[in-house]
């Protein structure tokens, strides 16, 4: 980013409005992790382009709720709609964001959409949704964002999950997450001459709306100790760090934020103290 110190110089602490005067687009920011990220970036001074898939505020009131929360922090916010699986929608989205704010400094690729079923049960429409939204959609976003990001340097942060490295038979989205982590490394090298950094955050189990569905395909998940469940705000904190000058030497990396859950997969996870063993 244009404000980052040169190699060897100390970075400013991760506090205050280090994103003051900058603009961030967070895809899928009408709720959950995306909303938490939008608010974290706003607290650091960024104006926020809020994004939702559905085509109107009436159909997707969460976008306006996120925007109102951003504005309550004293930052500008505007809601944009579009299905990232549709290339024309992405082109219109980035054009609209550029016209509204005049710049783009941070692109957070958070939007995701996929069925919970095994790959052998995927219908053609399932497979196309899986690839078009979670791989091609992110690719289209980056392609259209690069000209804006390159004007002053910027950051791309992708939101991944543990499905990228641990197989769940009913979580085909993990395959797309793994592919995207590879693209993050690719972009880190390709876009470095344009002063664009690219990194990812691999989130563990996060209690969002998707967690309710996860319980249907992962029996016993609700028995995990609370200290192994990540909050949306904890994911957002790491995204914020990756956009800061303190992360200037981190490029093409995926930071795991799971409270150590993946480290415990080689041994039993003990139930919470006092919980029944039914």
The helix/strand count (H/E) of the chain reads as: 8, 7
Residue 197 to residue 182: CA distance in whole angstroms: 14
Longest dimension (CA), the chain: 59
Q: Using alpha carbons, list the distances in angstroms from residue 175 to 159, 160, 167, 250.
A: 14, 11, 9, 24
Q: Is 156 exposed, middle or buried (0-12, 13-18, 19+ CB in 10 A)?
A: buried
Supply 27's token pair.
């895809």
Find residue 102's DSSP bridge partners.
none
Of 22, 117, 171, 194, the active-site residue reads 171
Residue 224 to residue 47: CA distance in whole angstroms: 37
Residue 193 to residue 26: CA distance in whole angstroms: 24
- Please choose, from the candidates 164, 122, 167, 160, the residue with its C-alpha nearest in 3D space to the C-alpha of residue 138: 160
Of 22, 87, 158, 177, the active-site residue reads 177
Residue 171 annotated to the active site? yes
Task: Report the catalytic residues.
Answer: 171, 177
């Amino acid at each position: 980013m244009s404000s980052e110190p040169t190699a060897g110089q100390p970075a400013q602490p991760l506090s205050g409005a280090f994103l003051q005067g900058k603009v961030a687009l967070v895809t899928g920011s009408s709720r959950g992790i995306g909303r938490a990220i939008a608010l974290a970036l706003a607290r650091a001074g960024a104006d926020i382009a809020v994004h939702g898939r559905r085509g109107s505020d009436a159909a997707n009131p969460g976008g306006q709720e996120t925007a109102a929360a951003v504005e309550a922090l004293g930052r500008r916010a505007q809601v944009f709609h579009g299905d990232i699986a549709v290339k024309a929608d992405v082109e219109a989205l980035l054009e609209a964001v550029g016209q509204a704010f005049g710049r783009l400094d941070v692109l957070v690729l958070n939007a995701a959409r996929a069925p919970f079923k095994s790959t052998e049960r995927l219908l053609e429409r399932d497979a196309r949704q899986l690839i078009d939204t979670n791989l091609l959609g992110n690719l289209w976003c980056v392609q259209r964002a690069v000209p804006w990001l390159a004007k002053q340097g910027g950051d791309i942060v992708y939101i991944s999950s543990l499905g990228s490295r641990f197989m769940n038979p009913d979580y085909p989205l993990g395959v797309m997450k793994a592919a995207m982590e590879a693209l993050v490394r690719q972009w880190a090298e390709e876009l470095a001459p344009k002063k664009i950094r690219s990194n990812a955050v691999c989130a563990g189990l996060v209690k969002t709306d998707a967690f309710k569905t996860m319980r249907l395909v992962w029996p016993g998940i609700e028995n995990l100790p609370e200290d192994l469940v990540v909050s949306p705000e904890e994911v957002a904190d790491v995204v914020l760090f990756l956009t800061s000058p303190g992360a200037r030497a981190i490029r093409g990396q995926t930071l795991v934020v799971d409270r150590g859950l993946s480290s415990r997969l080689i041994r039993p996870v003990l139930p919470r103290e006092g919980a029944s063993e039914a």
